[in-house]
């Protein structure tokens, strides 16, 4: 297994430790684990492209690892009433719709590339989550959590936008239906 794929696997392995730390109220530990795992996302792609180590495993698992990490945090936020469940439903609906489209495309031998708006959505989520956790770690500075919440709202808007853009850009997938 090459280094970029090891970093992707490490991100997935970090998730249960992140969840445990968060649920135990160890927000600083959870925050450090989340940020460290997020940085593996930054590095695995850069290393894979720079060294010619792009693999099918990486193409599939890298975005999946991102989602597992971020969505674990969002589920924890729902439990603590930091975000509403309907927000997570919108995010999951987008992901399932796009995953379905990619599966149909793959069955036809096509690969549907991710768009820039989807990458922006992911970056916003990966900024919002640690900001919201930092607000929990430092309750005397609620402005941090509030700013994180607004970044999360921006990511939710990008979720809807990027999903709509992706569907419209690839609507020919539905032509044979």
Q: Of 144, 111, 1, 127, which Cα lies nearest the Cα of 73?
A: 127
pLDDT digits (tens, 9 = 90+) for 42-88: 888 889 889 988 888 888 888 889 899 999 999 999 999 999 999 99
pTM over 0.75: yes
Q: What is the pLDDT of residue 176?
A: 65
- CA trace torsion 127, 37, 52, 112 (10° rounding): -60
In 45-88, DSSP assigns E strands to: none
What is the C-alpha separation between 3 and 83, in angstroms, rounded?
35
pLDDT digits (tens, 9 = 90+) for 108-145: 888 777 789 998 998 899 899 999 999 999 999 889 99
Q: What is the DSSP letter of 82?
A: S
Q: Domains of the chain, with CATH numbers?
A: 3-176 (1.20.120.1760)
pLDDT digits (tens, 9 = 90+) for 150-167: 999 999 999 999 999 999
The share of the chain scoring above pLDDT 90, in percent, equals 64
């Amino acid at each position: 297994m090459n280094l970029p794929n090891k970093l992707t696997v490490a991100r997935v392995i970090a998730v249960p430790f992140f969840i445990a730390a968060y649920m135990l109220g160890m927000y600083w530990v959870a925050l450090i684990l989340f940020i460290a795992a997020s940085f593996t996302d930054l590095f695995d792609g850069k290393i894979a492209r720079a060294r010619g180590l792009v693999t099918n495993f990486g193409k599939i698992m890298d975005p999946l690892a991102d989602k597992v990490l971020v969505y674990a945090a969002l589920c924890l936020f729902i439990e603590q009433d930091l975000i509403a469940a309907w927000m997570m439903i919108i995010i999951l609906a987008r992901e399932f719709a796009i995953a379905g489209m990619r599966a149909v495309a793959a069955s036809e031998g096509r690969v549907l590339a991710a768009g820039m708006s989807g990458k922006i959505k992911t970056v916003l989520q990966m900024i919002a989550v640690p900001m919201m956790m930092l607000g929990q770690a430092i309750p005397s500075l609620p402005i941090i959590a509030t700013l994180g919440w607004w970044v999360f709202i921006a990511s939710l808007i990008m979720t809807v936008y990027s999903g709509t853009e992706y569907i419209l850009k690839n609507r020919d997938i539905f032509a044979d239906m």
